[in-house]
Amino acid sequence: MSDTALLIIDIQVGVVDGELRAARLDTVLDNLNLAIAAARRRGIPVIFVQHEEDERPHGSAAWQLHPGLARQDGDQIVYKRYGDSFCETNLAQLLSAHGASKLWIGGAATDFCVDSTLRNAVSRGYQVTVIGDGHTTVSAFALSGEQVIDHFNAAWGATSATPQPLRVKPAAEL
């Protein structure tokens, strides 16, 4: 049993390839698939997280995981209604059942669900490695999606006041 789990958060059609296309999406999908392949080689569980809300109801076309992800039967799915993947879900119990104390995290949206989940994971004592080239968001407010991704990678990479190390690594280095 591995002490690590791979979380891929909200890479859903309506999140990353809907009205707005997420920044660097093709590259992010490629890199998430690299991370999935690395996890499978090491016996690391792959867990997909799917966000449901009024404009993306459970089972709708927009709610579906992106078809570009290398999913397999046996991959686990966590359903959520809030930004933080731990909030009112079975994620903590699932990770405990796998004996996971370390997480590889990628997905969408960088500035919302990915950030919320990784901050809660760090607070819960997990050692988190963000897949630096495996998360994305759309342009919003005054920043492009690319700027948001780069900013969060820099901020997470500079964070040292955590119980366990918080790392940012490209998928090829996992």
- The model carries a pTM of 0.97
When pLDDT is cut at 50, 70 and 90, the band that residue 4 belongs to is very high
The per-residue pLDDT for range 31-50, each reduced to its tens digit, is 999 999 999 999 999 999 99
When pLDDT is cut at 50, 70 and 90, the band that residue 140 belongs to is confident
The answer on pLDDT for 24 being more than 90 is: yes
Kindly give, in sequence order, each residue whose CB lies less than 8 Å from that of residue 143, ignoring residues fewer than 6 positions away.
151
Residues making up the chain, counted from first to last:
174
Predicted pLDDT at 122 = 97
Q: Provide the residue range defining the domain that includes 108.
A: 4-173
The answer on pLDDT for 150 being more than 80 is: yes
Residue 130 and residue 105 in contact, taking contact as beta carbons nearer than 8 Å: yes
Q: What is the mean pLDDT of residues 124-153?
A: 96
The per-residue pLDDT for range 91-107, each reduced to its tens digit, is 999 999 999 999 999 99
CATH number of residue 146's parent domain: 3.40.50.850
Long-range contacts of 156-159 (CB under 8 A, 24+ apart): 156/118, 156/130, 157/132
Residue 19's SS3 state is coil
Residue 16: its H or E element: helix 13-16
Q: Rounded to the nearest 5°, which phi and psi values hold at 104?
A: -100, 130
Nearest 5°: the CA angle 28, 19, 33 is: 20
- Domains held by the chain: number: 1
The answer on pLDDT for 134 being more than 80 is: yes
The answer on pLDDT for 1 being more than 90 is: no
Q: Look up residue 173 and give its two tokens.
A: 């280095």
Q: Look up residue 142 and give its two tokens.
A: 């005054």
CA-derived radius of gyration, the chain? 15
Distances from the Cα of 109 to the Cαs of 41, 106, 143, in angstroms?
27, 9, 14
**Cα 164 to chain centroid, rounded:** 18
Predicted pLDDT at 47 = 98
Residue 145's SS3 state is helix
